[in-house]
Structure 1
């Protein structure tokens, strides 16, 4: 009867020590059934997705960026830290063994007032092991594992971002190169028009107004060239810094017109939850916070620890090595918190708040992933439509320029008509080049939004 009463009292005591489980917040996330925008059939996203553009120079640039970029290297160094944290947490579940040696020399006053010198030497081995019947240490280790998994996914998200920024910057660079080539070709055409206007003015066929208009148009086009050259230099420097190199020229491959536009299969919105590393990182952060909350709740439960020591004692070193006095001890301890002014409960409340915030961050990451994909799909579709119209306008304005030039040369119209046609043609060609570069960059954004072919790695044990 006494044993039953003691067992019942211990059970009641443990039940009173355990902190009630704080429920997670109610989910508000709704996964859509399909994407709103349609891009047609395509291939699934591969891990080396940038190769789909068909430019070896782009492939080499992305490879250098993934190898040398400081953000990628920092993320990898952080991974090593979190792997070590797993070992730190796991070590608390294993026994500890330590050795000690304590030599001492002391002088004391004897009973007759005479000094007495004494030498003591003691060596010992000590072992300790903490039992984990309530799973507190196991939960702490699981939290460390989930933290590492979250950092691993975050590292992959960093690599994806760097690869996407490198590809997008390169496509922008090739778009600027195409605009510069167009500006130089247009400047040469403006030079011929200016020479023609000058000859006609010198023979009295045209007025000084037409000559001034031709020169003004030439100067306006000439001003575009250094502007584009400056933008190209800035883009090259940005790509070099991204790839972990000093500013300088960037290797080029295919021109803007020669770059392939990859066909991408977006899949279902539900698939996105398993393909985005940032979503996986947020999900594992929730698991880590939940395990940390469990460990915090278990702090209120008793901790059980076993200890043992074996040693030797002697008054000098030879005796310690030959025939010492053996010392030993075996024991255990049970430590249960009785009063801490609410500190442990407050720590559990903090862990619960961190868990709830991790849940909210996960839902926000998923919604942002949906928005990124919808925006990228819409951009690919709408920019393609804009590009088709821009190409049609470019062809039309080129034909208008040809007719206006012939009319001016044959004296059927003033130079103002050809001048307007030149401006419209240059604007149309520039707009078409900009739209093509933006359309290709939209494919990069879609690759980024779909996770870039990412696949989760195996968890660390």
Structure 2
């Protein structure tokens, strides 16, 4: 495919007046600084495709915004705060997100520099021989502006706006990564507390079942019980031993996952304190205000990131429209020239030249139109992604509110059930020792109590992690993390 471009060039005077080039440069700079774009259209935020309120939001919830509550105030456990400080310093994913911000900032500065002319120092010296054999030296020194595009139709300005939006999006991406890291470390810490409590429960249960199995063996040797009773007691003991081994493995896996988030091993003092910790003793988390779904647009960094990406896509589309218009460039030189090095700074050797040029594509085989269609499709994708981010946020908050409304009641019910199972076990032991109940009834009571005690820990873990999830879903964090343009 042959591409042809028609160039209409105009070159103006050398050396007579200096006012004309100065005026042209001043006008060009004013047009560039003013952003004389005929293609820019106002940005309009798409409507949020979610209901106006949450179905399970508590009517008596405290007022305010979760995004105004720093994690230092939300998480009261000093050990967890220490872990969060370590993670925010050492986590590699967060470090990559911060480096992405620096990369996009530099890219924005590159685009912003395109709006201004580049001034170069031009020095030259040549020596040639004339037809008579005599040397003909030439020396020159001056300043040059080479092919500076005057952004009359706003193409470069819109590309700069695109780079700025991408920079702001990377900042919001870094904020989202930090919020996700805080929530992940908090959940990892709660997992470890639950693991320790479950391990303690499993050790206690195993010791109790081993004692029961020994007693059953003695009763078997004395001919009081059958071998079936002893085998059942032994089976239950081995089941407790297998559960303990499984939970020890899970404890190691959860610690490894937390160490990865921290970017280092768990500190020795915190690891030592875990043996004395129980999930039930974890400090309570403060209640969070849900607010309205519309507030998520300014709270959550991932939504703000999606909106900046939408703004960048729109700026790219405007730049594609501006590409249909002429490109106006300016080349200018000012300096001195002489046939002797000593004469460079003498009077009469100074001069300047200025050459504006206009380039308009008459035939490009549909390249500009295809680029515009690409940018329009990218913008449509960005709109869909922005709306999906809002819908995802709404669902996450709604799910967390549903958990907040029901998990407290579930924890209380599990605790009541555990108390009932403990009483049932005491009665089963008395009935068995008095010969009223079978050994199988006693084993069933032991199994039920152990399962219920595990369920209490797991439900309490779910409740605490749901509060962490709600904090993240509402965009919790310090207010000074909102993305800002570079200076």
- Residue number in structure 1 paired with 2:247: 228
Q: 1:61 to 1:20 in 2, by over 3 A?
A: closer
- Residue number in structure 2 paired with 1:195: 214
| Secondary structure of 1:34's aligned partner | coil
Once residues 91 and 231 of structure 2 are traced to their aligned partners in structure 1, the CA distance between those partners, rounded to angstroms, is 52
- Residue number in structure 2 paired with 1:13: none
- Residues 289-368 of structure 1: pairs in structure 2 closer than 5 A: 289-315=313-339, 317-320=341-344, 325-368=349-392
2:395 corresponds to 1:371: yes
2:64 corresponds to 1:41: no
- Larger RCO (CA within 8 A; separation ≥ 6): 2
- Residue number in structure 2 paired with 1:255: 278
Match of 2:200 among 150, 175, 181: 181
Structure 1 residue ranges (4+ consecutive) displaced by more than 6 angstroms after TM superposition: 18-26, 321-324
- Residue number in structure 1 paired with 2:85: 63
Q: Taking structure 2 as the reference length, what is the TM-score of the superposition? A: 0.83
Tell which deviates more after alignment, 408-417 or 236-245.
Answer: 408-417
Match of 1:127 among 133, 145, 159: 145
Which runs of 5 or more residues in structure 2 are unaligned? 1-36
| Secondary structure of 1:336's aligned partner | strand
| Secondary structure of 1:308's aligned partner | strand
2:94 corresponds to 1:72: yes
- Deviation per residue, 1:96-129 (Å, 9 max, x gap): 2101222334567x36xxx655443332211355
- Residue number in structure 2 paired with 1:140: 159
2:443 corresponds to 1:419: yes
2:416 corresponds to 1:398: no
Tell which deviates more after alignment, 450-459 or 67-76.
Answer: 450-459
- CA displacement at 1:453 relative to structure 2: 3.4
8 Å CA contact 2:49–2:390 kept in 1: the answer is: no
Once residues 42 and 171 of structure 1 are traced to their aligned partners in structure 2, the CA distance between those partners, rounded to angstroms, is 25
| Secondary structure of 1:380's aligned partner | helix
- Deviation per residue, 1:303-353 (Å, 9 max, x gap): 333332123334454444668944421232222222222212221221111
Q: 1:87 to 1:27 in 2, by over 3 A?
A: closer
Once residues 241 and 26 of structure 1 are traced to their aligned partners in structure 2, the CA distance between those partners, rounded to angstroms, is 38
Tell which deviates more after alignment, 291-300 or 133-142.
Answer: 133-142
- Deviation per residue, 1:271-322 (Å, 9 max, x gap): 1121111111111111111112112211122233333212333445444466
- Residue number in structure 1 paired with 2:28: none
CA RMSD in angstroms, aligned pairs only: 2.8
Tell which deviates more after alignment, 355-364 or 301-310.
Answer: 301-310
Match of 1:98 among 96, 107, 120: 120
- CA displacement at 1:53 relative to structure 2: 4.2
Once residues 320 and 446 of structure 2 are traced to their aligned partners in structure 1, the CA distance between those partners, rounded to angstroms, is 74
Q: Taking structure 1 as the reference length, what is the TM-score of the superposition? A: 0.87
2:140 corresponds to 1:160: no
Which runs of 5 or more residues in structure 1 are unaligned? 1-17
8 Å CA contact 2:421–2:445 kept in 1: the answer is: yes
8 Å CA contact 1:279–1:365 kept in 2: the answer is: yes
- CA displacement at 1:238 relative to structure 2: 0.8
Once residues 332 and 129 of structure 2 are traced to their aligned partners in structure 1, the CA distance between those partners, rounded to angstroms, is 31
- CA displacement at 1:29 relative to structure 2: 4.5
2:460 corresponds to 1:442: no
| Secondary structure of 1:338's aligned partner | strand
- CA displacement at 1:367 relative to structure 2: 0.7
